[in-house]
Structure formats: structure tokens, C-alpha cells
């Protein structure tokens, strides 16, 4: 797989995880004290980690084989799965093409050289199952490595010709979405409608401009359990009972934001499927969210723009890399007439601000991914940051100047007004 030296990209409105919080969490569960072999996180944890892909990763055996986390560049420090800002996550969504049934499974990530805290569940896959894998990361740059046979069997992708996406990667994703599309057209797979929110509007999806940020359609809803000695286990009811006060590790994702926070606040119900990891309980996933968004999101539809920082190559837009990313999340190739960052900025400003304003009473008191901030402020801060980082307000305000293509003074003035309005809204 492509490899690159990590490039630190600060996106606090995305993750809302700080080194201090991560260190405090680990200290609270005794990792630094009770387990000398698991060191306390350094002042600046290594933001670039690697996952070792198991053999035959799309099979039942491969899914149940833990992924091994290690430092991409050991000179920058070690990587530990139980360190919140270094945690990586794997999520599988599975299609039974004959019956059109979907299910979810959560492969485990452990530290390289460490055993899991509990044996992973081996899933029972349907005959002819089509499996897609998606990866999320709380650091900056995640690299996939494995034997050529493993990466080839999984159709694994985490960038283009040495230019990594960053926090995301996938295996078998294009094949999964193609099979799901065929099942929908054949009438075998039914995608539930988005439903109606408390505000009278359609429930938002991961392609709604009130939810997306500068890096849309990234990361997963998988969670893990971490023990006092830094080992990890799948987040199942049985493991929660068996392990001594485990800490839950979660991925800072658009998908979790929608399913666990925005949907409940607006009276909406996420799309779920049986979780083969945990006895068939209902579970969400990136793929389920993208399928539902593709089927039900009304215009304007947020699709990964050419200026998305994860799709840039050497700081410049790349149609090939953007299309590779889009294919991994079930989106159509770039349409030059509508995929520009300028039009994305307009919709982010107008549609995003409109919905947050309309829903401010529903969102203000709701829980958010950041324990110290309500959901309305979390979302408004996130939208403010996205408008600035994409260069919507002014090219000079962006850390990715190429993302500010097609500058228009009127658009930038309107976006700057939106930023000020968002600051007053929450």
C-alpha cells in the first residue's frame, strides 16, 4: 500500500479529542500505572500509524483475525490502540446477494505484539457474501500494510500512488456498493426512507450540508473496549460484563455524529442491520449511512468535492484521487459542472446555516461528541471551521490553498457573514 510520512492536520471541530483528554482518560483507567509495558502517551503522540491487514480479510476467518497497530515511522514514537488520539477502527458491512439482507461486523484492532482482551467472535457469513471494509482513525495518517495476497484479496485502498487519504481507507468497498446497487435494482434490497424529523423536514443524511464538514463521508461507527492494561476487545455485551470496567474507544466520525447524536436530537432513526459481532443486535455503519443517503437525500446533495483535503495530491486537487475516494463511499465520479469547491462552499453556507438555525432549539440542549459542549455549539463550531478551512471565506484562511479554487468575492463575503452568524447562533 502507499506509504507517506505523517502530515499533522489539525481539525479540532472534527475529532474534539485532545492529547490532554486522552492522557487523562488513560490515567483514569490506570494504563500508565497498572501496566508499565503500556507507556503513558507522550506530549505529542505519533499521528501516523499503520494497520497490518490479515490474510483473506473479507472472509470469516480474516474478519475475526485482529488487525495489528504499529507506528508508520517509529522515530516519531509508538502507536497504541488504547491511546484515544491514535485509535484505529475497522468496520465491515456484509450483503447477502441472494436474499438482499445486510449485516454488520466489527473486526478488532490490537497493538502489534499484544493479545486481545477477549477472543474475537467468528462471524457466520451467508453463502456468496459480499463484504466491504472501512477504516477510521483518530490520528492524522493511517497506512494499510499486508502481504500482496492479502491486499489483493481485499481490494484494499488507502490513497493514490503514495498520496494517502489520511484518516480513512477501505477494502472491497467498490464491489460492495456495486452489489448493493444491483440488489436494490432487482428489488431484493430495500433501503429505508430517511423519515421525517421533528422540524418537519426530511431527516438528515451523511450527504446533508447541515452535517458534513471539510472532510465528509469519513470514519466509522465502530467502538472497542479497552482494559486497564491497554488491551482491546470487541464492544459486545458479553465482553462488557466479563472485562473489569473497560473504557469505550470511539472514532470521531461524521457517521457516529449522525447516528448517535443528530438523529436522536431530531427524532430520527438511523439505518441499522444485525451485528454479527454481538448476537444480532441492531448496529449502524458507514456503508448503511451512504446507502440511505444515496437513496433519500434531497438536493442539494453533498458529495466529496475536488477540494476535500483528503483528496489533494501535493496540495492540489486530483480528479483521480477524488474519484477513488468517492468510489470507496459509494458516490458517483466527479461532475465538473457541480463538483467545484465554490459550489460546495455555497451549499455549505446556505443549506448548512439554514438548517442549524431552524433546529437550534432541538440541538441546543442535546448531547454532543464533546462532553463540555452542547450539540448546537459543536455543529456551529464545526461548520465555522469548515468554511474557513476550505477557503470559503477567503483563500488565505485555508490551510489547503488549492481548495479555494474559483474565488468569488461575493461568495466569500457571504461565507464570512455566515461565520459571524454561526458564532452568535450557539
CA distance 21 to 362: 28
- pLDDT tops 60 at residue 12: no
pLDDT on residue 116: 98
214-272 per-position pLDDT tens digit: 889 999 999 999 999 999 999 999 999 999 899 999 999 999 999 999 999 999 999 99
CB 391 within 8 A of CB 341: yes
Co-location of 348 and 204 in the same domain? no
pLDDT on residue 338: 58
Co-location of 318 and 348 in the same domain? no
Domain assignment of residue 3, yes or no: no
Domain assignment of residue 1, yes or no: no
Give the SS3 label for residue 50.
strand
Domain assignment of residue 286, yes or no: yes
Domain assignment of residue 2, yes or no: no
- pLDDT tops 50 at residue 299: yes
C-alpha cell belonging to residue 189: 434490497
Last residue of a domain, one of 339, 355, 371: 339
Co-location of 413 and 285 in the same domain? no
Domain assignment of residue 368, yes or no: yes
Q: What is the mean pLDDT of residues 22-27?
A: 35
Co-location of 90 and 120 in the same domain? yes
Domain assignment of residue 7, yes or no: no
Last residue of a domain, one of 297, 317, 339: 339
Co-location of 294 and 381 in the same domain? no
In whole angstroms, what separates CA 29 from the centre of its chain? 26
Long-range contacts of 158-162 (CB under 8 A, 24+ apart): 158/1, 158/2, 159/1, 159/2, 159/4, 159/321, 159/324, 160/2, 160/313, 160/318, 160/320, 160/321, 160/324, 161/2, 162/2, 162/3, 162/4
Co-location of 181 and 170 in the same domain? yes
CA distance 159 to 155: 12
Co-location of 368 and 298 in the same domain? no
pLDDT-derived band at 56 (thresholds 50, 70, 90) equals: very high
Last residue of a domain, one of 339, 372, 403: 339
DSSP state of 90: E
CB 89 within 8 A of CB 136: yes
CA dihedral 126, 277, 259, 212 (to 10 degrees): -80
Domain assignment of residue 5, yes or no: no
Co-location of 42 and 162 in the same domain? yes
Work out how many domains the chain is built from and give that number. 2
Kindly report the number of other CB atoms within 10 A of residue 45's CB atom. 21
Domain assignment of residue 306, yes or no: yes
Give the SS3 label for residue 412.
helix
Q: Which residues of 14-37 are buried (b: 16+ CB within 10 A; e: fewer)?
A: bbbbeeeebbebbeebebeeebee
Co-location of 203 and 286 in the same domain? yes
Closest to 21 (Cα-Cα) out of 189, 252, 206: 252
Co-location of 269 and 348 in the same domain? no
CA distance 231 to 51: 16
Average pLDDT, the chain: 86
Tell me the residue range of the domain where 79 lies. 12-339
Q: What is the mean pLDDT of residues 123-151?
A: 97
Q: Which tops the pLDDT comparison, 153 or 26?
A: 153
- pLDDT tops 70 at residue 380: yes
322-348 per-position pLDDT tens digit: 999 999 999 999 986 655 788 888 899
pTM, to two decimals: 0.88
Co-location of 324 and 245 in the same domain? yes
28-42 per-position pLDDT tens digit: 333 332 233 444 556
Provide the percentage of residues in the chain whose pLDDT is more than 70. Answer: 81
CA distance 140 to 383: 20
Co-location of 306 and 363 in the same domain? no
CA distance 66 to 87: 14
Amino acid at each position: 500500500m502507499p506509504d507517506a510520512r505523517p502530515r499533522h492536520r489539525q481539525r479540532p471541530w472534527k475529532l474534539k479529542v485532545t492529547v490532554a483528554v486522552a492522557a487523562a482518560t488513560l490515567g483514569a483507567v490506570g494504563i500508565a500505572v497498572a501496566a508499565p509495558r503500556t507507556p503513558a502517551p507522550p506530549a505529542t503522540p505519533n499521528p501516523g500509524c499503520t494497520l497490518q491487514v490479515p490474510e483473506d480479510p473479507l472472509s470469516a476467518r480474516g474478519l475475526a483475525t485482529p488487525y495489528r497497530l504499529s507506528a508508520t515511522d517509529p522515530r516519531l514514537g509508538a502507536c497504541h490502540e488504547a491511546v484515544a488520539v491514535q485509535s484505529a477502527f475497522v468496520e465491515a458491512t456484509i450483503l447477502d446477494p441472494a436474499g438482499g439482507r445486510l449485516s454488520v461486523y466489527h473486526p478488532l484492532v490490537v497493538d502489534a505484539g499484544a493479545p486481545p482482551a477477549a477472543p474475537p467472535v467468528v462471524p457466520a457469513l451467508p453463502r456468496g457474501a459480499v463484504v466491504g471494509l472501512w477504516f477510521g482513525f483518530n490520528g492524522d495518517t493511517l497506512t494499510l500494510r499486508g502481504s500482496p495476497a492479502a491486499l489483493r484479496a481485499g481490494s484494499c485502498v488507502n490513497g493514490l500512488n503514495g498520496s494517502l487519504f489520511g484518516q480513512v481507507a477501505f477494502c472491497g468497498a467498490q464491489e460492495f456498493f456495486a452489489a448493493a446497487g444491483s440488489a436494490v435494482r432487482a428489488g431484493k434490497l430495500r433501503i429505508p426512507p430517511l423519515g421525517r424529523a421533528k422540524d418537519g423536514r426530511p431527516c438528515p443524511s451523511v450527504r446533508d450540508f447541515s452535517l458534513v464538514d471539510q472532510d465528509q463521508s469519513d470514519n466509522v461507527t465502530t467502538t472497542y473496549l479497552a482494559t486497564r492494561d491497554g488491551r482491546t476487545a470487541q464492544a459486545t455485551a458479553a465482553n462488557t460484563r466479563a472485562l473489569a470496567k473497560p473504557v469505550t474507544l470511539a472514532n470521531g466520525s461524521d457517521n457516529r455524529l449522525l447516528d448517535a447524536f443528530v438523529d436522536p436530537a431530531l427524532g430520527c432513526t438511523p439505518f441499522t442491520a444485525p451485528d454479527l459481532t454481538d448476537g444480532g443486535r441492531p448496529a449502524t455503519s458507514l456503508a448503511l449511512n451512504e446507502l440511505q443517503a444515496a437513496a433519500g437525500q434531497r438536493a442539494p446533495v453533498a458529495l466529496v468535492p475536488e477540494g476535500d483535503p483528503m483528496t489533494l495530491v501535493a496540495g492540489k486537487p486530483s480528479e483521480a484521487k477524488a474519484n477513488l475516494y468517492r468510489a470507496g463511499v459509494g458516490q458517483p465520479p466527479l461532475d465538473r459542472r457541480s463538483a467545484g469547491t465554490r459550489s460546495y462552499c455555497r451549499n455549505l453556507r446556505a443549506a448548512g446555516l439554514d438548517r442549524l438555525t431552524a433546529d437550534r432549539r432541538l440541538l441546543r440542549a442535546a448531547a454532543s461528541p464533546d462532553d463540555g459542549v452542547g450539540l448546537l455549539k459543536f455543529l456551529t463550531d464545526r461548520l465555522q471551521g469548515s468554511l474557513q478551512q476550505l477557503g470559503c471565506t477567503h483563500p488565505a484562511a485555508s490551510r489547503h490553498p488549492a481548495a479555494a479554487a474559483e474565488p468569488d468575492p461575493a461568495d466569500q463575503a457571504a461565507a464570512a457573514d455566515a461565520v459571524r452568524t454561526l458564532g452568535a447562533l450557539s
